[in-house]
Structure 1
Amino acid sequence: MSNGTDENRLRTAVVIVTYNSADVLGDCLRSLTEGARGVVLADVVVADNASRDDSVGVAERAEALPITVVQTGRNAGYAAAINAGVAALDLDALDAVLVLNPDCRLRPGSLAVLAEALRPPGRGIAVPRLVNPDGTLQPSLRRQPTVRRALVEAVIGGTLAGRIGTLGELVTDPVRYEAACTAAWATGAAMLISAAAWREIGPWDESFFLYSEETEYALRAADRGWSLWYEPSAVFEHIGGDSAVNPTLAALIVVNKVRLFRRRRGRIAAAAYFLAVALGEGVRALSGRPTSRAAVAALLRPSRRLRLIAPPPAS
């Protein structure tokens, strides 16, 4: 694809959401120069959520890229910023839009490989192989959330459950990441969405301020017949990691996945799912894990839960 003409390359735009991301955004933007080799890079939109650092300045000073800066004017959340970024694009002139975290780096030519994965009919989302800065695999694929999987993960832990058949929601077996495949959903740090799929599916759900918005979007896409494809030959580096150590973010992950399950499955199944998730977090909280203590508190105290899902605007 890298040797083709513009007529047979996919016309692609990139939307990067920033919030106090100045320390990582520069490397992300620089990686696009070689990372987007082989596609027509129509636009790079940096959608900024009222950063108090120099994120906007870093974007505006970037060279050799078609940069557009969109400022939401507040800490609007990940989904809202994605929607604002896509609203600045001419979707009818595009084949695909890459939604990207600012702490991602593209390997040379990786976007073209990912774009090729969207060509077959019915594929609406393509996701790359995510690796940590040291090159090790970063598990990113998920199976459909179910009460059974939540209960198994509560009893034996998500990492182990993800290695045994299809017991866990998070796919942790490294062997599963060697071959291309479909998945129910995947980490939202890097998702290439076909323009046709976006027009049919619509915008991301802004009621999820942070976390579970990518789950909701992928599952909604599947409801409309669009599959999510994992392409291991497209490699992106992703720093990530805050939710593993930040109790507030960890609690928000748990609260939002319970909210989403309730919305999609109804009250009875949602009650069983809630109990399974609360059991797992409770066991880990008793072992002294701060993130699980925060998750349990958010699940059991409505006032704390409300503050998580509807945070105040940035001052």
Structure 2
Amino acid sequence: MAEGKRIDTLPLISLITINYNQAVVTCDMLESTRQLTYPHFEIIVVDNGSTEDPTERIRQGNFPNVTVVVSPDNLGFSGGNNLGITYAKGDYYFFLNNDTIVTPDLLEKLLEPFLRDSTVGLVCPKIRYHDQPTIIQFAGYHPLNPYTGRTWSIGLMEPDKGQHDKSGPTYFAHGAAMMVSRAVLERAGSLDNSFFLYYEELDWSARIRRAGFQLYYQAEGLIYHRESMSVGKMNPMKVYYHTRNRLWFMRRNVTGFQLLIFYLYYFGVAIPKALLKYTIQWQPDYLKAVKEAIVWNFTHKPSKEPVPAPSPVALAA
């Protein structure tokens, strides 16, 4: 796509990633960006209140076009990415987990749907597992079940034999790798900070679709993902945010009879099942996490106001 064109005439892509006590992992991802063939991009690394400032380690890596932004506090996935937006100058924003490895033509492939169709607002690549590089993690999303608050990615844990190589619209984005246009931020707002961790990309996806944009799965783009590097496979914090934000997401995006059925299912089946499991296994920290997640929802009301987009380069000026 870049052949015969001056770099400054190509859309600028702002790649935004978050580091949290994982400077080595982040540098592995940055190292993989050296192979990117698209010539016009910048990288913003937001450090989310790590115990050790990663700036010097990243500078020693001599990675081109990288800006390191250090937050004194952990702002979560939404807050960290929103902070990165304020430093970004791009026409497109590519939110990429630090525990990923990119492939050479990724940025060109992600841009293609935007350039073909102005209704496309967000594009995600195919995702495979880093430690099982032939196994799919994401090839689009199934629709949400409005009665259980559940959805799942297409192709999950399947060997990639080309069965999900057809690109097209999808229902939700995958937070590990999602590119959005500037128009999305202007019309749909940005990630909602209230989620902090988990479900924020599903909430954002729902708002982007309501704003009239398509979400798109680009099968020709590919990344590899080291899943759950930041918070681990299971711990009380993960239980808390999964429990809290599943309910929070549904309260924000489902109404009427469907929401009523969800409440009956969630409080009559899902929560009792979780409490029974953590009681039998005697995991008191997990029991406390479930309780605190429910209490949080009882003390917070969903806002009907759109989420304002951070002002680009507001803090960098």
Would the TM-score normalized by the shorter structure come out above 0.5? yes
Q: CA deviation at 1:78?
A: 1.1
In structure 1, the gaps of 5 or more residues are 154-167, 311-315
Cα deviation per residue 1:112-140 (whole Å; 9 max; x = unaligned)?
Answer: 11111221211111001111112111136
In structure 2, the gaps of 5 or more residues are 301-317
Computed over aligned residues only, the root mean square deviation of the Cα atoms, in angstroms, reads: 3.1
Cα deviation per residue 1:187-206 (whole Å; 9 max; x = unaligned)?
Answer: 20111111222222222211
Contact kept? 2:243, 2:293, Cα under 8 Å: no
Which whole-Å CA distance do the structure 2 matches of 1:62 and 1:209 have between them?
30
Which whole-Å CA distance do the structure 1 matches of 2:84 and 2:28 have between them?
20
Q: Cα–Cα, structure 1 residues 218 and 296, in superposed 2: closer, same or farther, change >3 Å?
A: farther
Q: CA deviation at 1:111?
A: 1.6
Cα deviation per residue 1:135-185 (whole Å; 9 max; x = unaligned)?
Answer: 1111363334333454xx7xxxxxxxxxxxxxx544346576321121111
Q: CA deviation at 1:287?
A: 5.9
Q: TM-score, normalised by structure 1?
A: 0.79
Work out whether 1:131 is the aligned partner of 2:128. Answer: yes
Contact kept? 1:100, 1:189, Cα under 8 Å: yes
Work out whether 1:31 is the aligned partner of 2:52. Answer: no
Which letter does structure 1 place at the counterpart of 2:214? S
Contact kept? 1:281, 1:295, Cα under 8 Å: no
More helix by share: 1
Q: TM-score, normalised by structure 2?
A: 0.79
Work out whether 1:306 is the aligned partner of 2:296. Answer: yes
Q: Which residue of 1 aligns with 2:212?
A: 225
Which whole-Å CA distance do the structure 1 matches of 2:168 and 2:271 have between them?
30
Identity among equivalent positions (%) equals: 21
Work out whether 1:100 is the aligned partner of 2:100. Answer: no
User: Which residue, 155, 171, 189 being the options, matches 2:154?
Assistant: 171
Which letter does structure 1 place at the counterpart of 2:13? T
Contact kept? 1:250, 1:292, Cα under 8 Å: no
Which whole-Å CA distance do the structure 1 matches of 2:128 and 2:282 have between them?
24
Q: CA deviation at 1:235?
A: 0.5
Which letter does structure 2 place at the counterpart of 1:114? L
Contact kept? 1:145, 1:261, Cα under 8 Å: no
1:128-207 paired onto structure 2 within 5 Å: 128-133=125-130, 134-135=132-133, 136-139=135-138, 141-148=140-147, 150=149, 169-172=152-155, 174=158, 177-207=164-194
Cα deviation per residue 1:62-98 (whole Å; 9 max; x = unaligned)?
Answer: 32411111122201111111111111123xxx32111
Cα deviation per residue 1:275-297 (whole Å; 9 max; x = unaligned)?
Answer: 43452464466567979997776
Q: Cα–Cα, structure 1 residues 176 and 196, in superposed 2: closer, same or farther, change >3 Å?
A: farther
SS in structure 1 of the partner of residue 104 of structure 2: coil
Q: Which residue of 1 aligns with 2:304?
A: none
Q: CA deviation at 1:245?
A: 2.6
User: Which residue, 236, 247, 252 being the options, matches 1:263?
Assistant: 252
Contact kept? 2:25, 2:98, Cα under 8 Å: yes
Q: Cα–Cα, structure 1 residues 261 and 246, in superposed 2: closer, same or farther, change >3 Å?
A: same
Q: Which residue of 1 aligns with 2:239?
A: 250
Which letter does structure 2 place at the counterpart of 1:40? H
